[in-house]
Structure 1
Amino acid sequence: MSDNPTPPVAESDQLKETERVEAGPGPGRGPFGGGMVAQKASRFGPSARRLLDRLRPERAKVGAVVGLTVVSVVLTAIGPRILGKATDLIFSGLIGGRLPAGITKAQAVAALRQRGEDKVASMVASMDVHPGQTVDFGAVGRVLLIVLAVYVTSAALAWLAGYLLNDVVQGTVLRMRAEVEDKVNRLPLSYFDKQPRGELLSRVTNDIDNLSQSLQQTMSQLLTSVLTVLAVLGMMLWISPLLALVALISVPLSMLLTGTVMKRSQGMFVQQWRRTGRLNAHIEETFSGHALVKVFGRQAEAERVFAEENDELFKASFGAQFVSGLIMPIMMFIGNLNYVLVAVIGGLRVASGSLSLGDVQAFIQYSRQFTQPLSQVASMTNLLQSGVASAERVFELLDAPEEEADGVGHAATGDRRRGEVRFERVTFSYDPQKPLIRDLSLVAEPGHTVAIVGPTGAGKTTLVNLVMRFYEVESGRITLDGVDIASMPRSELRAQTGMVLQDTWLFEGTIRDNIAYGRPDATEEQILSAARATFVDRFVHSLPDGYDTVIDEEGSNLSAGERQLVTIARAFLSDPALLILDEATSSVDTRTELLVQHAMAALRSDRTSFVIAHRLSTIRDADLILVMEDGAIVEQGAHDQLLEAEGAYARLYNSQFAAPVAG
């Protein structure tokens, strides 16, 4: 489709996250094209909420995960308090062993006060001390067994919650991948004209993979951390409201610093993934056109562009990771300050008898458990922001305008149509400011071959794109056997149509598989018959494995002519009512061109054909030749008739034989 002018990108049609393609060859049209850079700032909140909405189909499992996590966190939270009882038993035993036996605790407290040891007396008064009795290791052992059971149960519930959460995340990502795949199939051709392939592939692969990793690593940790903060806060208030107030002082400070850092790093993460998309687009273009790069000696420029894009990606990635990495050290510093305050004030409270040593030990553990989840949440912000940035890019793809809905008036019947095509006052343009096809009317009779010729950019390929409904007409209509194609399902229309393009497309597989792609239910005999009719059989037997020879997606182990013959065989096997040949012989030698012409002659028999050609010698026998200039048909007729008219066609035809002017 080389003659078709690249559709301009109208601002009104542009996706909200992209800007105009930079000046130059442009993405997808050469090895040095510019990429699309997202210019809209990331909206973290709406994108995060939309991502969470994706979990709705798994809400039963999500509820189970929340329930299991709550129980696990509560068990973990009461562990230090129970362990504090063991500390109290040991400490009471040590103190009791140093007191005289045979007296009561009240007598021991009175004796200490008489000796002026009021602080020790207050501490003993608040403890469960039995003078003369040492540590009850049996009681300590029972407490430790209870703590062990609590922690083992908590760990088992956390493991089960993690297992269910993994199922939730992977199921969500599975549906998102399927939705993206369906979306790509519903996007109009104009979308792909505006998007670099590398950028699109980055959204479909890299961004979804990053989203999966981010969800997997953050959801469980985030839920556990939030519940831990709530549970630990409740335990701290139960033990000592004063110490809890001291611990809570660090929360607003932590939130303020974390929010400041997050705001700075958020834009950097968005830029990181945009730069990744640009670099992917450049690499894909350069690798796809590596032969062209070498032919024109542009390796140095390709390497320079790669180095620049790679350097920009490095700067964006380094900045995002460095800034977000500041959160953890800041949170650890605040946590350590909090630990010191709790230890000092708690020690004073133990000395005054207001708290037991076990309670202070438990509170110190709680203060660590309180700041640790906050630190974990802070450390997850880089993953969270990166994941939401990727989710936003995927959502932008999912929100892209789709092609118009199929008509419902004509269901596919499987019957082959006659192939009469009519253009009735058709008008179309890629850009409303630049009209291309205006008020065009023509009739292609069933079984006739219609050749379309004209200079590059005249609108020849646009014409067949409209027939295939790759684009929709602005006014007028196109009919197939009297039925408006706009009212037909695209699948039915395209099932009646076969295309052979200038750029051959083969996938990795055997030659047999590539031919059968045109008709998956074809028998072996039908495949071989199509191969013989299109002269594929002539060269296949010279290959090492015949029809089972595996070719790569570029078809590098076949010549250009051989690849073209395979695509013609594929179209022949599909047995279409309407055939479109777009410069199908432009890349082959003269001898192979004769074979291709014979193959196409067999393919065109008994079906309506549109042939786009620059070599006018290939369409001399066409039933009708249309000469197009600037989107309009300026001449039409048979070959001899048009030559006699000495008009536009005659000028084009004679220009093939004109010798270059010597300088």
Structure 2
Amino acid sequence: MPIPSSSCRKAVWRRAAASVSCWMPGADLRPSGRSRLSMRTGSEDMQQTTGNLTMMRRMARLMKPLTGTEGKAILCGSLGHLFAVWSMMAAAAALIGLVTDWPPLNGQWVVWALVAVLTALSRGVMAYGEQYYNHEMAFSMLRDIRTTVFDKMRSLAPAGLRDQARGDMVTVITNDIELLEIFYAHTLSPIAIALVTSLANLALLTWLSPWMGLAAVISYLIVGLLIPILSARPTFKVAMRERTAQANLHSLLLETLQGRTELAGLGALGNTRRRVGVATDQMLDARGRTSGRTVANDLVTNVVTLICTGVFTLMACHLGSAGLVDPARGMIGLVGFLSSFAPLIPVARLGAGLQPTLAAARRVFSLLDKEPPVREVESGHGNPLTEFTGEEAKAVSFSYAGKTDPDKDDLGEHGGRTSVLEGLDLSIKPGELIGIQGANGVGKSTLIDLLMRFQERSGGDLTVSDLPIETICTADLRAQQTLVSQDTYIFSLTLADNIALARPDASREDIEQAAHDACLDDLIDQLPDGLDHLLADNGSDLSEGQRQRVALARAFLSPAPLMLLDEPTSNMDALLEGRVLTRLIERKGDRTCLIVSHRPSVLARVDRLLTLQDGRLIPS
């Protein structure tokens, strides 16, 4: 493990010292001008505390199916810590019985020594059981949460994830979810174990001496309750900054890797390197502040624990010298008290240590709480769609939520949102080849989203095979449609597997025919392994035109009767475009094609041409 430089260590300790000052009454806490602007009000602090408690309750509810496993962890942990305390107390009793003639222990030291050995051995077994069950439960929870997040992302895609940075999503499904392990493995059971063992130790110390019991309950409340509460609020803010900074850095790194060719070609690598450096410094600074809070919390916990043990020791000596408690009984109680803090210290550290986990949980649940643009219709809960007899839109309208038109004073029917489509009519019949043209930004891609139900329309009627589109089983709808979008994603698979995405069971002959129809013969000849060549991440070894032809090959191989093509030849030269269009028309058969394009050479080949203007389709 690398040793931090002296400057790094000094920076961490400076932050720790600044954090410790927050605990010291009378310290100069006057904020600077910037601090005054960012300082939370009391009501905001209360809302933050309430939000964290709500987050913890929500996380705890997810583990209901694993309650039995968590119960085993708590049982093993409680017995393990109690055995540790009882072992020390039994060892103290054995020593006292060996060297003194105190009547209750005189001649019994062998028995107490045996008890000490047995409880110490049992402590090891119970500690193993606690770790085993805690991690079984935690890793099972991470598996279930990650599955839930992937299912949620599937329901949000594609429209619901367009405003989500890829690097941010990678951080959520990797680092943020991994951090939840701290809550499930190192939070719930330690709190329960600390409560159980503290009550048991308190009862034992109170039986030895009520004064010892009183001192113990005050110490336990300070270490196990007061310290976590006081350290939680100042740590959460810096922890949230750290998670956000890390997500921003991941997004920037991912964009840099994907756009490295453009950056090099434009001579922008130096500026990008500086941006990455700034983002890295911001992340490291936020992480350092979080570490400083953690160090401060550990320092305060250790100091307070030492103070409590010192006060308890002085009190035990005073009780013994004053004759209020037998010296031997006081010595056993002191040993038990000193060894009883082991389960409390992890709880005291949760105030700072748990905050990054809560920040990560907030980001995970923020994604899970995101409303999908459309609600999927499960099989058995909607109308089945077995054949395509046409798709029809009547008076369809669509407006983007949260966007306002500054030129319109009247909010109107859409509540001030920008209307993209308004009163649009479209009839698509089987076997047709329809072309749609229009200026950039008029809503052509949005129309395709509505036809495929990636987004919900704001008004009007939209039917497929005379069935309302929102009542059709989503899987059946997808089986009747195939899309070639403007942005083609190439997976890290072979060329053949990339083509066969929609038909993984397709025969080799069908894949070769689809590649031939998409004019990929020259690419196959260039690749070392032909169709079996493993393509690079997102097809970085392919040109834009080649990527588009891979997308067309996927559509040719798909059995869906309706093909929706969004600028399918925009990166091809005229000769190649003509060949592809000829193949498309020849192979179309009874399939229906709707092509969105700016190119006159493409639109000249369609059966019917429509222009999207002012939210409506106009025959051309």
TM-score with structure 1 length normalisation?
A: 0.78
Contact residue 233 and residue 370 of structure 1 kept, 8 A: no
Deviation at 1:129, TM superposition (A): 9.3
- Of residues 232, 243, 246, the one that matches 1:262 is 232
The Cα of 1:451 is off from its aligned counterpart by 0.7
Q: Which amino acid aligns with 1:577?
A: P
Residue 322 (1) aligns with residue 292 (2): yes
Distance (Å, rounded) in 1 between the aligned partners of 2:426 and 2:569: 25
2:34 aligns with none
Query: What residue number does 2:124 align with?
Result: 155
1:65 aligns with 2:73: yes
CA–CA separation in structure 1 for the residues paired with 2:570 and 2:352: 52
Instruction: Work out whether residues 83 and 362 of structure 1, in 8 Å CA contact, stay in contact via their aligned partners in 2.
Output: no
Alpha carbons 2:177, 2:360 under 8 Å: kept: yes
Count of equivalent residues: 556
Partner of 1:597: 581
Q: Which moved more, 1:197-206 or 1:537-546?
A: 537-546
**Secondary structure class of the residue paired with 1:436:** strand
* Structure 1 contact 214–383 (Cα < 8 Å) conserved: no
2:606 to 622, 632, 648: 622
User: Does the 8 Å contact 1:77/1:231 carry over to 2?
Assistant: no
The alpha carbon displacement at 1:465 in A equals 1.3
Structure 1 residue 444 corresponds to structure 2 residue 437: no
Separation (CA, whole Å) in 1 of partners of 2:229 and 2:465: 65
Aligned equivalent of 1:335, options 299, 302, 305:
305
Q: Which residue type is aligned with residue 347 of structure 1?
A: C
Q: 1:62 to 1:249 in 2, by over 3 A?
A: closer
Q: Does 1:406 align with 2:371?
A: no
For 2:388, which of 409, 417, 425 is the aligned residue?
A: 417
TM-superposition CA deviations, 1:183-235 (whole Å, max 9, x none): 11122644212222222222222210111244323344434333332222222
The residue number in structure 1 matching 2:63 is 55
The 5-angstrom pairing of residues 192-591 of structure 1 reads 192-254=161-223, 255-351=225-321, 354-402=324-372, 403-406=374-377, 408-413=381-386, 416-418=387-389, 420-431=390-401, 432=414, 433-591=417-575
Is the Cα–Cα contact under 8 Å of residues 377 and 474 in structure 2 kept in the other structure?
yes
Q: What secondary structure, in the 3-state scheme, does the structure 1 residue paired with 2:339 have?
A: helix
Aligned-CA RMSD value: 2.6
SS at match of 2:527: coil
Contact 2:167 2:254 in 1 (8 A): yes
CA distance in 1, matches of 2:118, 2:599: 85
Q: What is the deviation of 1:48?
A: 0.5
| Aligned-pair CA distance for 1:47 | 0.4
- 1:446 and 1:608 in contact (8 A); partners too: yes
Distance, in Å, in 1 between the alignment partners of 2:241 and 2:48 is 9
> How far apart, in 1, do the equivalents of 2:518 and 2:304 lie?
77
SS of alignment partner, residue 505 of structure 1: coil
**In the alignment, is the contact (CA less than 8 A) between 2:202 and 2:216 conserved in 1?**
no
Q: Is the 8 A contact 1:427 1:475 kept in 2?
A: yes
Give the distance between the partners of 1:619 and 1:396, measured in 2 at CA.
44
Q: CA-to-partner distance for each residue in 1:304-357, whole Å, 9 max, x for gaps?
A: 433333333233222222123212222222222222233333234444555455
What CA deviation, in whole Å up to 9, does each residue of 1:468-497 have, x standing for no partner? Answer: 111111222222332332221222122111
Is the deviation greater in 458-467 or in 241-250?
241-250
> 1:612 matched to which residue of 2?
596
Q: Deviation at 1:624?
A: 0.6
* CA separation of 1:603 and 1:148: change in aligned 2, threshold 3 A: farther
Q: CA deviation at 1:574?
A: 0.9
Change (3 A) 1:351 1:434: closer
Kept after mapping to 1: 8 A contact 2:89/2:336: no
* Cα distance between partner residues in 1 of 2:531 and 2:300: 66
Question: Residue 51 of structure 1: CA displacement?
Answer: 0.8
| Residues 506 and 301 (structure 1), Cα distance of their counterparts in 2 relative to 1, 3 Å cut | same
1:164 CA drift (Å): 1.9
Which one-letter code corresponds to 1:233 in the other structure?
L
Note if contact 1:127-1:356 (Cα within 8 Å) is conserved in structure 2: no
Q: Which moved more, 1:39-48 or 1:575-584?
A: 39-48
Offset at 1:409? 4.2
Matched residues in 1 for 2:85 and 2:347: separation? 18
Mapped pair 1:164 → 2:148: no
What letter is aligned with 2:282?
E
What residue ranges of structure 1 are gaps of 5+ in the alignment?
Answer: 1-38, 94-125, 131-135, 638-663
- The Cα of 1:623 is off from its aligned counterpart by 0.4
1:102 is aligned to none
Query: In 1, distance between residues paired with 2:178 and 2:591?
Result: 47
Identity between Structure 1 and Structure 2 (%): 26
Q: Aligned partners of 2:471 and 2:105: how far apart in 1?
A: 92
Q: 1:603 to 1:235 in 2, by over 3 A?
A: farther
Deviation per CA, 1:448-483: give whole Å up to 9, x if none.
111111111122111111111111112222223323
1:75 aligns with 2:48: no
Task: Map 1:21-60; keep pairs closer than 5 Å.
Answer: 41=48, 43-60=51-68
**Cα deviation per residue 1:27-63 (whole Å; 9 max; x = unaligned)?**
xxxxxxxxxxxx9957210000111111110122222
In structure 2, relative to structure 1, the CA distance for the partners of 1:630 and 1:282 (3 Å cut) is: farther
For 2:377, give the aligned amino acid. Answer: D
Aligned to 2:146: 177
Compare CA radii of gyration and give the structure with the larger one.
Answer: 1
How much has 1:297 moved relative to structure 2? 3.3
What is residue 187 of structure 1 aligned with on the other side?
Answer: 156
Change (3 A) 1:617 1:302: same
CA–CA distance in structure 2, aligned partners of residues 183 and 477 of structure 1:
27
C-alpha spacing 1:73/1:373, structure 2 compared with 1 (3 Å): closer
Deviation at 1:127, TM superposition (A): 5.0
TM-score (norm: length of structure 2): 0.83
